[in-house]
Amino acid sequence: MKHSIHPTQLGLENFQAALSGLKHSEEWKYVDLKRLTDYIPQNFGTLDAQSACPELKNKIWTTENSPQQNSFLALPEAQPSHYQELDLAGKNLGAFLLEYKPEGKHQFLLSHLRLVCPARAKIQLNISVQSAPDAANLLNQSWEIILGEEAEFELNFLDQSSGSNLNFYNFSFACAGSSSLLFNHYTHGSAISKLNCQAALNGEEAKASFNSLALLAKRQAAHSQFLVEHKQPNTYSEEAFRAILRDESIAEFSGKIIVSPHAIGTDAKQLTRHLLLSDLARAHTRPQLEILADDVKCSHGATVGQLDAEQLFYLGARGLSPKEAEESLLKGFISELLDRCTYPDFRQAFTLQP
Amino acid sequence: MTALLKIEDLRVAIDGNEIVKGLSLEIGFGEKHAIMGPNGSGKSTLSKVLAGHPDYEVLDGSVQFAGVNLLELDTADRSLAGLFLGFQYPPEVPGVNNADFLRQALNIRRKAQKLEELDPLDFNDLLEKKLAELDLHNDIYQERSVNDGFSGGEKKRNEILQMAILEPKLVILDEIDSGLDIDALRLVSKGVNAFASNPDRSLLLITHYQRLLEYIIPTHVHVMIEGKIVKSGGKELAEDLEINGYEQFAGVL
């Protein structure tokens, strides 16, 4: 009865079958694989970019054919049946909002969008992912983003989906010479969320900045994997990752920077900060630098800690109660990364409490 | 008239080490007191314990402030009761806008006093007025995060700005002169003097050096050595210390 299976179901089956081989890998060892192997969706679906952004409808093509290269998928082995391509040619300047609002509560949902930001275009794309408040969906969203020469692209990603979701997001960026990429990622967390982000700086003087902010609680787990490859001279990258962890939540950050032999004059920075508000919360952070060129600047820093006692005392000495002082420091902690987003609606929508 | 602050036989420890060892001090309304002493004499500990720093343990003694038992209040309530500590090393608070923070601190106070809270526009008028009075012509105090990237002198001036906005009854300035060049010292002193000219307000200056006391003339000077006040006098005591140093008190204990 193979013909009766929803094509997306095959992706889930392949993925679940592959999980047993992943459990010993460095990338998956902190992921609660049992939650994934046990997941039985009520139905299957796709997240459609056309309905997410009616404004770009005639710019989005849907195909049933998988792209040749699918290694960037968040769930390896999951073969997408639903693949869309968005060409922003002619849209040299503009801001677009993609709003994904799946209605199902226990669905396996796939989307795979390839997006081309043409040379010299200045584009801001704002993506919000929402869900029913009590949903427990399994999401597998993948983006492949190609920046032309001198393109300026700001991608703001706000995850407002249910705290019980299992979310797998994958971003793959290819950046041409003198292009500039700004990627801001904000989430209140889900039962499991995994963010994979790969960027290849393929042209000279390409710049890429990544900011990720996760506010986690209960038994949520967030796993973030960043890979930045400096392939040409005078390229720049910056990764700033912050998480606030309450209750028994877990945050994992793994960031690798590769500077190829040719990429002299590379400037790469990585900074992670985890704020633990509970004795039971845990943070793992793994910076990795692989530098094969001379004359480069690479720096990384990682802190895991609690709220600063001297700052709390200082605010208290100005009359703020312990609760007000804590809230003020937490707002400060998030605002530094939130302010890098130039889309005001997302800055307002992302608050300390979901 | 009762004193604004009355400390009796105060003993304070941190990590089990007694730092303040039986200190008594009375500060009346409108008085300007200075505590001088060498490094490690417990001056900064005294200022922190009065402000309610959680790391310090009060072993014994009492502190009355404006008619209440200060030691029973938490840090915030001491501030709301009218006690202000100007920090020796004000911490940086990245991400918290200085003006927003000042407005929040003022409005918490106004709310406690059953006064109407100031909206951002009214607060901005007040802030600009205070900045002009203090000769602070730099937009860092409005635009940047609290003390974030401020120089040592700018941090101290921000303490004075906070004092001017919050209008406390007792101002404790812990080494406000450290890290200030002579022009900044003049500017800060001018602000403190203008503030303290109100007879309902009192000052407690903590300093190593007599230099500060040439700009802010104290009514009372105390010498603190090894956790105790060993001598009290008028402003001439500070001049004497400048000439003869603290060594003359070595045998007092």
Amino acid at site A323:
K
Rounded distance between C-alpha atoms, residue B238 and residue B220, angstroms: 9
* Shortest distance, CA B102 to any CA of chain A (angstroms): 9
Instruction: List residues in chain B touching A: CB distance below 8 A.
Output: 51-55, 74-76, 78-80, 84-85, 87, 90-91, 93-96, 101, 104-105, 108-109, 112, 145, 162, 166
Can you give the pLDDT at residue A269? 96
Residues of A in contact with B85 (CB under 8 A): 317
**3-state SS record for B80-145:** HCCEEEECCCCCCEEEEEHHHHHHHHHHHHHHHCCCCCCCHHHHHHHHHHHHHHCCCCCCHHHHCE
Residue A51 confidence (pLDDT): 74
Inter-chain touch B91–A334, beta carbons under 8 Å: no
CA-to-CA separations, B32 to A58, B82, B217, B220, B231, in angstroms, rounded: 76, 16, 8, 6, 16
What is the phi/psi pair of residue B101, to 5°? -65, -45
- The residue behind tokens 């920090």 is B87
pLDDT band at residue A62, thresholds of 50, 70 and 90? low
Tell me the per-residue pLDDT of A88-124, one tens digit each, with 9 for 90 and over. 766 666 888 888 888 888 888 877 788 888 899 999 9
Q: Determine the Cα–Cα distance for residues A20 and A37; give it in Å rounded to an integer.
A: 9
Q: Chain A: give the shortest CA distance to residue B252, in Å.
A: 35
The answer to whether B122 touches B191, Cβ cutoff 8 Å, is: no
Residue B34 identity (one-letter amino acid): A
pLDDT of residue A58: 65
B44 DSSP assignment: H
Give the CA distances from residue B75 to residues A278, A291, B139, B200, in Å, rounded to whole numbers and listed in that order.
Answer: 23, 50, 29, 22
Cβ neighbours of B160 in A, within 8 Å: none
Indicate the residue of A309, A322, A332 with minimum beta-carbon distance to B96. A332
Average the pLDDT over B98-117 and give the result: 96
Amino acid at B253: L
pLDDT band for position A61 (50/70/90)?
A: low
Q: Which residue of B has its CA nearest to A310?
A: B91
Residue among B80, B95, B108 whose CB faces A333 most closely: B95
- Closest partner residue to B95 (CB to CB) among A308, A322, A336 is A336
Question: Rounded to the nearest 5°, which phi and psi values hold at A29?
Answer: -70, -25
In this complex, the residue of A315, A325, A332 whose CB is nearest that of residue B145 is A332
Q: What would the pLDDT profile of B3-41 be if each residue is shown by its tens digit? A: 999 999 999 999 999 999 999 999 999 999 999 998 889
User: Do A274 and A290 meet the contact criterion of CB atoms below 8 Å apart?
Assistant: no
d(CA A3, CA B171): 81
Contacts of B90 in chain A (CB under 8 A): 314
Edge-to-edge strands, sheet with B83-86: B83-86, B170-174, B202-207, B32-36, B220-225, B228-233
- Asked if A66 contacts A80 with a C-beta cutoff of 8 angstroms, the reply is yes
Q: What ipTM does this complex have?
A: 0.96
Return the SS3 of A329.
helix
d(CA B63, CA B3): 11
Residue A201: pLDDT over 70: yes
Q: What is the pLDDT of residue A92?
A: 64
Is the pLDDT at A268 greater than 80? The verdict is yes
What per-residue confidence (pLDDT) applies to B148? Answer: 95
| Residue contact A318–B105, C-beta within 8 A | yes
Determine whether the interchain pair B91/A310 forms a contact, defined as Cβ–Cβ distance below 8 Å.
yes
B76 and A314 in contact by Cβ < 8 A?
A: no
Q: Give the Å distances, CA to CA, from A105 to A134, A162, A166, B107.
A: 7, 9, 12, 44
pTM of the complete model: 0.90
A324 exposure class (CB count in 10 Å sphere: 0-12, 13-18, 19+):
middle
Which among A313, A322, A334 has CB closest to B53?
Answer: A313
CB atoms A328 and B105 under 8 Å: no
Q: Indicate the residue of B53, B85, B105 with minimum beta-carbon distance to A320.
A: B105
Kindly determine whether residue B105 and residue A336, on different chains, have CB atoms separated by under 8 Å. Answer: no
Q: What is the 3-state secondary structure (H, E, C) of A221-233?
A: EEEEEEEEEECCC
- Which of A271, A273, A318 is the best mutation test for B, with the most CBs of B within 10 A? A318
Give the rounded percent of residues in chain B with a pLDDT score beyond 70: 98
Given a contact cutoff of 8 angstroms between Cβ atoms, the answer to whether A171 and A145 are in contact is: yes
Look over chain B and give the mean of its residue pLDDT values, rounded to a whole number: 93
H/E stretch holding A129: strand A122-130
User: Does the beta-carbon distance from A317 to B105 stay under 8 Å?
Assistant: no
pLDDT of residue A250: 96
* B107-117 mean pLDDT: 96
Q: Does A350 touch chain B (CB under 8 A)?
A: no
Q: Which residues of A touch B109 (CB under 8 A)?
A: 319
Whether the Cβ atoms of residue A341 and residue A125 lie closer than 8 Å to each other: no
What does the alpha-carbon distance between residue B42 and residue B22 come to, in Å, rounded to a whole number? 11
The HSE-up count of residue A247 (CA atoms within 13 Å, CB side) is 11
Task: Of A6-10, A121-125, B58-62, B198-202, give the lowest mean pLDDT range.
Answer: A6-10
- The conformation of residue B117, written as its DSSP 8-state character, comes to P
Residue corresponding to tokens 């800690």:
A305
Instruction: For chain B, say whether A334 makes contact (Cβ under 8 Å).
Output: yes
Tokens of A99: 């709003």
Verify whether the Cβ–Cβ distance B93 to A332 is below 8 Å: yes
Does A71 score more than 60 pLDDT? no
Q: Kindly give the interhelix angle for A322-338 and A309-316, rounded to the nearest 10 degrees.
A: 120
| pLDDT digit string, tens, across residues A136-162 | 998 888 888 999 999 999 999 999 998
Which residues in chain A have Cβ-Cβ distances shorter than 8 Å to B79?
316-319
If DSSP codes are grouped into helix, strand and coil, which group holds residue B159? helix
- A329–B54 C-beta distance less than 8 A: no
Kindly compute the dihedral angle of the four CA atoms of residues B75, B80, B81, B84, in this order, to the nearest 10 degrees.
70
Q: Is A303 on the interface with B (CB under 8 A)?
A: no
pLDDT tens per residue across span B125-152: 999 999 999 999 888 999 999 999 999 9
Task: List the single best residue of A314, A323, A326 to mutate versus B (max B Cβ within 10 A).
Answer: A314
